[in-house]
Structure 1
Amino acid sequence: MSELQKGIEYMQNHQFEEAAQAFNDYIEQNPNDPVGFINFANLLVHLQEYDSAERFYQKALELEEQLPAAHYGLGNMYYEKEQYEQATKHFQDAMKQGLDDQDIYFMLGMSLLNQEMPKLSLPYMQRASELSKEDVDIQFQYGLTLAYANMIDEAFEQMNVVLALDEGHSDAYYNKGVCLLYQERPEDALDQFEKAIKIQPDHLLAGNGKKQVEQLLQERDS
């Protein structure tokens, strides 16, 4: 087993000190291989040592310009730092250089969504959902993106997709309730809020939604 493989295994087992030593040894033995620098940088991001991580990613890119994994790593680092514009740039660079899987589409979509650009985010989130049909989080975030893009009917149906995967997803019930309010169906919305609260009694948004709808119905019927 190479030092690189050892480092990855140590990292997976949360033995971070040992992982750092293994990656360092690999880099000393293979100073012109960018993969060692990328893996060490990934570890540093996990440890929130962002400045050092950035230096390692940049060193990898100095060794090899076309390196989508380095751009993806930089994108993740900036995303964690909530610097979404920079994250978007690096995710786009990774995609231009050939990275094509659900993670890159999802992270690019989330970066755009966090910049309040749901319509730009939408095609990436849709593609991520197509590639990860069983991933509850991706399916849910795609539903939220549809809602933020004012595609209320589609968002409602997407929340049903989420609930088919996880019938105990309280946030999906809450968001169905919000969609139903937009559709001017307060009684049905109330039912969804109550389902969310039954699953998660401390769901503040659902609790607040329930109170507001009950007040609305009371005023309407008085």
Structure 2
Amino acid sequence: MTEMDQGIQLMQEGKLEEAAKYFTEAIEANSEEPVHYINFGNLLLHMKDYDRAVRFYGKATELDGQAATAFYGLGNVYFEQEDFSKARENFQKALQLGLEEADVYFMLGLACLYDEKFKFALPYLQRATELNPDDADVLFQYGLALAQTEQLVEAKKVFEQVLQLEEEHSDAHYNLGVISLFHDDINQALAHFDQALAIQPDHLLAGNGKTQIEKMLAENE
């Protein structure tokens, strides 16, 4: 196991100070190797030391302008700081440099989604689901993007797929309840809100949806 591998393992184990020592030694031994700066950037990102993480990722890109994982790291830093414009820019750069991984498409799609650029989010989230079809979180976000662009029939199918992967997904039930309301299926909406609350009793949106339906039903009696 190389020093770099040991550092990564220590970081994964939560031994951050020991990991920092390994990464520092790796940089001192070979200061022209961009991957060492990327690893240290990943550690700093994990520690939420965003300013220093940007500097280390930036150093990696100075040493190697084709270092796709450095741009991906920068994207994550800006995403965590809710600078979604810069996050998108760096995720797109990582893709352009050949980092064809589900996580990159997913994070780029999320950056668009959180920045309310729903139509732009769709192709990236769709590609993420193609690369990682068994990830309930990826599918759920794709479903949200479909719902936000008023593609409710497709969104319903995706949320149902989420439940096939993760039966106890309260947010999928909530969104299926909302879609049922749009289709004037009050009973089905109530059933989904009830299910969301059974899974997560403090689900405020589902609780509010259920209250509104019960109020409406009471007024029509």
Please give the residue correspondences for 1:47-58 in structure 2 after superposition, counting only pairs within 5 Å: 47-58=47-58
- Whole-Å separation in 2 of the counterparts to 1:153 and 1:216: 25
CA offsets per residue over residues 83-132 of structure 1, 9 Å max, x none? 11000000000001111010011000000011101111001101111111
Correspondence for 1:133: 133
**CA distance in 1 between partners of 2:148 and 2:70 (Å):** 31
1:10 counterpart residue number: 10
- Secondary structure at the aligned position of 2:28 is classed as helix
The 3-state SS of whatever aligns with 1:133 is: coil
Alignment partners' CA distance in 2, 1:7 and 1:173: 41
Following TM superposition, by how much is the alpha carbon of 1:156 offset from its aligned partner in structure 2, in angstroms? 1.0
Q: Which amino acid aligns with 1:71?
A: F
Q: CA deviation at 1:27?
A: 0.5
Counterpart CA distance in 2 for 1:22 and 1:188 is: 56
- What letter corresponds to residue 216 of structure 2 in structure 1? L
Q: How far apart are the structure 2 equivalents of 1:195 and 1:70?
A: 42
Cα deviation 1:4-30 (Å, max 9, x = unaligned): 111101101100000000000000111
1:201-222, Cα deviation, whole Å (9 max, x unpaired): 2211111100101112222x33
User: 2:161 corresponds to which residue?
Assistant: 161
Question: 1:60 maps to which residue?
Answer: 60
How big is the shift at 1:157?
1.1
> Which residue number in structure 2 is paired with residue 114 of structure 1?
114
Counterpart residue number, 1:78: 78
Aligned to 1:89: 89
Q: When the two structures are superposed, what TM-score results if normalisation uses the length of structure 1?
A: 0.97
Where 1:99 maps in the other structure, the secondary structure is coil
Q: Distance in 2 between matches of 1:37 and 1:157?
A: 43
Show structure 1 runs of 4+ deviating over 2 A. Answer: none
Secondary structure of the corresponding residue to residue 116 of structure 2: coil
RMSD: 0.9
Q: Which residue of 2 aligns with 1:208?
A: 208
Cross-structure match for 1:43: 43
Work out the CA distance in 2 between the residues paired with 1:183 and 1:13: 48
Structure 2 unpaired stretches of 5+: none
Query: In structure 1, how many angstroms separate the alpha carbons of the residues matched to 2:55 and 2:196?
Result: 45
